[in-house]
Amino acid sequence: MSNSVRSREKTKTIIRYVMQDAKDFTLQLPQFSKDSIEYKMCAKITELTQVIQLMHTRTEGNEHLLNLKEKENRKIMEKLEKKIKSRDNIIKELTDELKKSDIEHREAINALSNSLNIEKSSAEGIARERKKISKQLLQTERDLNLAKDDVCRARIIINEKDEIIKRFELLHTGAKEHNEQLKKEISVLRKELSRSQTEAAGLREDQTKLQSSFAASERRNNVLKGKLAQLQSPQSIRSHSAVLHATHNNVTQSGRNTKADLRSSQDEKLSMIVAGYERKCLYRFFYIMAFY
């Protein structure tokens, strides 16, 4: 056999050993010269085996890490499953609540729709009532305007009454003053009445005296008439008639003068008394009107 064939077989055996147990790298390789191809191949194979060993150790570490991660993941999955179950329960409860709330909302919507229908009907009634109320408001506004007019008229009347009251107050004050004046005048009139009464008593005495003198003069006249009847001669009649006529005229004129004097004096006193009484009545009338 040639050297190349032998070297190939040796490399195959080395590779076979390596493939059988990748962990065992302490193989007793055949001794080759350092410059030979076999030695170089074996060196590379050892390097490759070391690399494989490192990769194997890494794979074991990775497997260990994977196992740990799987355990952790399992725990996490269990926790997640528990959470999922709890969440599922919560979701079920929420779905039940949602169903209940949906039912309640539907019932509320139905109730609202019914209430809306009722409110629509009530709104129509309210609109009618508003129309009635608007009509009533217009009527009340008219009544208010009329009432305002009445109030203005009443104010005018009140102002007029106030003016009248002021006038009556002024009249009252004037009436008080007039009353005081009347009292003074009444006192004066009483004094004048007392004087007039005394004067009337004197006038009555004078009247009685004049009446007695008038009676005496009438008696004299009658005597003279008798004497005239006795005298029948025309001369005596003429002379005596002229004298008697003159005396008769004098007597009658004096009687008339006395009567006129009596009447004029009595009329003046009576007119003064009547004028004072009329003033008194007028003052009382104004005084009563001032109070009313």
pTM: 0.25
Contact predicate 146/244, CB 8 Å? no
Q: Calculate the dihedral angle through the C-alpha atoms of 12, 15, 19, 21, rounding to the nearest 10 degrees.
A: 120
pLDDT(22) > 50: no
pLDDT band per the 50, 70, 90 thresholds, residue 234: low
Residue-wise pLDDT tens digits, 26-53: 445 556 677 777 777 777 877 787 777 7
Q: In whole angstroms, what is the distance from residue 46 CA to residue 292 CA?
A: 153
Task: Please indicate whether residue 20 or residue 125 has the higher confidence score (pLDDT).
Answer: 125
Q: In whole angstroms, what is the distance from residue 42 CA to residue 38 CA?
A: 6
Chain-centre distance of CA 93, in angstroms?
Answer: 58
Q: In whole angstroms, what is the distance from residue 272 CA to residue 278 CA?
A: 10
Q: In whole angstroms, what is the distance from residue 263 CA to residue 277 CA?
A: 20
pLDDT band per the 50, 70, 90 thresholds, residue 25: very low
b/e for 49-58, b at 16 or more Cβ within 10 A? beebeeeeee
pLDDT band per the 50, 70, 90 thresholds, residue 11: low
Q: Considering only CA atoms, which of 10, 75, 72, 90 is closest in space to residue 45?
A: 10
Residue-wise pLDDT tens digits, 149-202: 888 887 888 888 778 777 777 776 776 776 677 677 777 767 776 776 777 677
Q: In whole angstroms, what is the distance from residue 182 CA to residue 188 CA?
A: 9
